[in-house]
Structure 1
Amino acid sequence: MMYLPQILFAIVLLASIGYFARNVSKLRRNITLGHDVDVSDNTSQRWKNMAMIALGQSKMVKRPIAGALHVIVYVGFVVINIEVLEIIIDGLAGTHRIFSPIGATYGVLIGIFEILAVLVFVAVVVFWLRRNTLKLKRFWANEMKGWPKDDANYILYFEMVLMGLFLTMNATDLEFQAMNSGNVISQFIAPWFSSFSESSIHIIERSAWWLHIVGILIFLNYLYFSKHLHILLAFPNTYYGRIKPQGQFENLEAVTSEVKMMMDPDADPYAAPEAGAEDEVPAKFGASDVQDLSWVNLLSAYTCTECGRCTSECPANQTGKKLSPRKIMMDTRDRLVEVGKNIDANNGEFKDDGKQLLDDYITKEELWACTSCNACVEACPVSIDPLNIIMQMRQYLVMEQSAAPMELNNMMTNIENNGAPWPYNQMDRLNWKNEA
């Protein structure tokens, strides 16, 4: 029985890690449903982007108040969780604060952890007030009702409870308090328990210890179902994110080949394929469902923090149009999750469910409201590119369904017939200069 706590801890730890690994495997499978794309270029710039944007939070602090608070939570979350290593060793070995013999250094570290815990708690409270009391507009859009709204608050409650348990654990650890080193905050909390017996304080300390580590493991596994996957995915997403100039659109390879053939006077479009060459299935132009997007698009969908900075900067959204770049990413992720569940339910195979991203999640009205200004791309703190998804779905509408708005159809007809967007005969295109 003396090893029961260690056995119980090992079971909880292994079960949590196993469940997390299982969900990570599903996550990877879902992301790789997208088609392949070459992102092996310019590795030095990609590493720099990851260091500056994901690690250095360079785009987050462009909004100083929210940025500063987020940096506090981010740094606190990373640094305080260093202590998880000690907790895991103690839990498996049955020891108590195994690193405490290192002396003053241990006290300095725990002291830093305690200060950060208070700062994180305060920052999270401010975040909660901004979201629920001040009700900032970008947190109360239509797409933020229901689960997205609740999810954001659940995370805030999680962080408040974890920080409170950490400080309570330290305040009720009589051996740690007796050291009088590192208890820079908990020494002021310890008197709250002075009326309790020593055995009761020990029970409180053990309860806080268990709840703290179990809470961290629950939080770890909750990430898969939450927008807070960005804690993990922001790093690969900023690495694989767009590095080309924002005004440079991707050309469809199939269309480029067609144009080259049209412009080659020696090309024979009716020529038989070369001997041994297999008949190729014509590529689908653009995207109508998540499987048509690239795996980078799908990674970005899972990385979306739902912060709404993209939507708040979108000129189409500001003028009352239905487009919300945040919703584009959320809809892409929700459809991808639906497809993943479909695959799970059908023994690893996708069974046509009669649904797709276009129309069932994202409407044509939303897609054509976009001005392609790249404001959403510039605003995103983790290098997500909603415009790329919008443009691929537009390509599908135009090239597969001939479903462009009348204004665009007129323009494309003019280009085809007159060589210019305007409805003038080529012979008359320069008549304007005679009126000058």
Structure 2
Amino acid sequence: MQYLPNIIFAILLTVAIGYFAKNVKKLIRNIKLGQDVDVSNNKKERFKNMAMIALGQSKMVKRPIAGILHIIVYVGFIIINIEVLEIIIDGLFGTHRAFSGIGPIYGVLIGIFEILAFLVFVAVVIFWIRRNVMKLSRFWKSEMTTWPKNDGNFILYFEMVLMTLFLVMNATDVSFQNMNNGNVISQFIAPLFSGMPESTLHIIERAAWWLHIAGILIFLNYLYFSKHLHIILAFPNTYYGSLKPKGAFNNLESVTKEVKMMMDPNADPFAAPPEGAEAAMPAKFGASDVQDLNWVQLLSAYTCTECGRCTSACPANLTGKKLSPRKIMMDTRDRLEEVGKNIDANNGEFKDDGKQLLGDYITNEELWACTTCNACVEECPVSINPLSIILEMRRYLVMEQSAAPVELNNMMTNIENNGAPWPYNQMDRLNWKDE
């Protein structure tokens, strides 16, 4: 019986980490369903982007209030969880505050943890008010249905409870309070429990300890099902993010070669294609489903924070059109999850379900509403590029289904016939100056 708590703790820890590892494996499998893409270039710049954007939160502070609050929560939550190391050691070996033997430094660390815990709690309350009382419009767009709205609140409640448990655990730890070293916040909470027997305080402290570590392990496994997976994926996503100028389009090499050949006056249109030319042609132009996208785009879908900064900056959305860059990423992730469950249900093989990303999730109207201005790409705090997915799906509509809007077809016909988007003969192009 003496070691029963340690055995229970070890089982809880093993099950939680095992379930998390299982979901991480599934996550990697789903991301690898995407097409291969070479992102091995310029490692120095990629590491710089990861350090500045994911670690340094450089794009978050472009909106100062939300950015500063997010940094408090981010830094506080990460640093406070350093104490999880001590909790794990205590849980496995039956010790109590195993690191307290390092002397005064321990008090300094716990003091910092307590200050951060208080600041995190305050920041989270402000986030909750912004989301539920002030009701900022970007949190209440049409794509923010029951689950996305609840998910955001669930995480806020999680963080409030975890920070409270941490401070209560310290406040009811008699030996820690007697040290009077590091209890910079908990000393003001301890009087709430004054007059209670020491045995009762011990029960409260142990209950807070168990609930705190259990809450952290539950939070860890909740991440896979939540938008807060970006806590982990923001780092690889910013590393693998595009380094091209934002106005650069991703041209297909095979199409570029074909156009160059057509424009070459010395090319023989009846000549046999060079060896290997057929192999260079893609099996499908553009993307109609998640498997047609590249794996970086699928990684981005899982990384989306659903913060809505992209949609709030989108000129098409602001003028009442159906396009929401956030919805593009959410739909891609939802379809990818659906495909993953299909594979799980069919022994590792995908069985055609008669559905696809284009049409069943994202409509043509949404795709053609995009102005390709890159506002969404510029706004995203974790280097997600919704525009790249929109363009791939447009490419599919144009090159595979000839389903471009009439206005675009007219423009392309004019370019083909007149060498310009306008319906004027090349000889008449300058007539406007005589009017």
Which TM-score tier does this pair reach, normalised by the shorter chain? Answer: over 0.9
The residue aligned with 1:4 is 4
Q: Is the CA contact 2:254–2:280 (under 8 Å) kept in the aligned structure 1? A: no
Distance 2:131 2:185 in 1: 28
Superposed displacement of residue 283, structure 1:
2.6
For 2:348 and 2:400, how far apart are their aligned partners in 1? 29
Q: 2:262 aligns to what SS in structure 1?
A: helix
Match in the other structure for 1:125: 125
| Structure 1 position 103 matched with structure 2 position 103 | yes
Shift of 1:346: 0.5
| Residue identity opposite 2:272 in structure 1 | A
> What's the CA shift string for 1:115-150, capped at 9, x where partnerless?
000000000000001100111111011111210000
In 2, the alpha carbon distance for the partners of 1:423 and 1:273 equals 36
In the alignment, what sits opposite 1:219? 219
Secondary structure class of the residue paired with 1:390: helix
CA contact (8 A) 2:138 2:308 kept: yes
Name the SS for the 2:143 alignment partner.
helix
Equivalent pair of 1:414/1:420 in contact (CA under 8 Å) = yes
Counterparts in 2 of 1:277 and 1:375: CA distance versus 1, 3 Å: closer
* Structure 1 residue 267, shift from structure 2 partner: 5.0
The separation in 1 between residues aligned to 2:160 and 2:297, in whole angstroms, is 33
Query: Which AA in structure 2 matches 1:378?
Result: E
How far has the Cα of 1:273 moved from its partner?
6.5
- In structure 1, runs of 5+ residues without a counterpart are none
- 2:318 alignment partner in structure 1: 318
Partners of 2:222 and 2:328 lie apart in 1 by 23
For each residue in 1:282-340, what CA deviation from the matched residue of structure 2 results, as whole angstroms up to 9, or x when unmatched?
A: 53111111001110100100000000000000111111111100001000100000000
Return the offset for 1:266: 3.9
> What is the distance in 1 between the residues matched to 2:294 and 2:70?
30
Give 3-state SS (helix, strand or coil) of 1:251's partner: coil
Alignment match, 1:159: 159
1:192 CA displacement: 1.1
Which residue pairs with 1:393 in the alignment? 393
Q: Cα distance 1:235–1:282, how it changes in 2: closer, same or farther (>3 A)? A: closer
Report the RMSD for the aligned CA atoms in angstroms.
1.5
Inter-CA distance 187–361: structure 2 relative to 1 (3 Å threshold): same
- Tell me which residue corresponds to 1:55: 55
How big is each residue's C-alpha offset from its partner over 1:371-426, in whole Å with a ceiling of 9 and x where there is no partner?
A: 00001111111111011110110111111111111000000011111111111122
- AA in 2 matched with 1:40: S
**1:166-181 equivalences in 2 (<5 Å):** 166-181=166-181
Q: How does 1:147-296 map to 2 (within 5 A)?
A: 147-264=147-264, 265-266=266-267, 271=272, 274=275, 282-296=282-296
Q: Which residue of 2 aligns with 1:308?
A: 308
Partner of 2:381, secondary structure, is coil
Answer whether contact 1:34 1:290 (CA < 8 A) is retained: yes
Letter in 1 for 2:43: T
Contact 2:254 2:281 in 1 (8 A): no
1:115 aligned to 2:108?
no
**Structure 1 pair 272/238, CA: closer, same or farther in 2 (3 Å)?**
closer
- In 2, Cα distance between equivalents of 1:239 and 1:121: 30
Match of 1:135 in 2: 135
1:37-52 aligned at under 5 Å gives the runs 37-52=37-52
Separation in 2 of the partners of 1:46 and 1:250? 19
Q: Distance in 2 between matches of 1:174 and 1:267?
A: 90
SS at structure 1 position matched to 2:73: helix
Using the TM superposition, give the Cα deviation of residue 427 of structure 1 relative to its aligned residue in structure 2, in angstroms.
2.2
8 Å CA contact 1:261–1:269 kept in 2: the answer is no
Say whether residues 1:372 and 2:372 are aligned partners.
yes
- Worse-matched range after superposition: 136-145 or 259-268: 259-268
| Structure-2 residue corresponding to 1:68 | 68
For structure 2, the residue ranges without an aligned partner over 5 or more in a row are none
Normalising by the residue count of structure 2, what TM-score does the alignment of the two structures yield?
Answer: 0.97
The whole-number CA distance in structure 2 between the counterparts of 1:370 and 1:271 is: 39
Residue identity in the other structure for 1:305: T
Could you tell me how far apart the structure 2 residues matched to 1:6 and 1:282 are?
A: 57
User: Taking structure 1 as the reference length, what is the TM-score of the superposition?
Assistant: 0.97
Cα offset, 1:254, TM superposition: 2.4
1: CA distance, partners of 2:24 / 2:219: 14
Percent identity of the aligned residues? Answer: 80
User: What SS does the corresponding residue of 1:25 show, helix, strand or coil?
Assistant: helix
Quick one: structure 1 residues 339 and 44, their matched pair in 2 at CA, closer, same or farther if it must change by over 3 Å?
Answer: same
Contact 1:46 1:238 in 2 (8 A): yes
Separation in 1, partners of 2:303, 2:282: 32
**Rounded Cα–Cα distance in structure 2 between residues aligned with 1:430 and 1:154:** 63
Alignment of 1:327-346 (within 5 A): 327-346=327-346
CA distance in 2, matches of 1:413, 1:273: 29
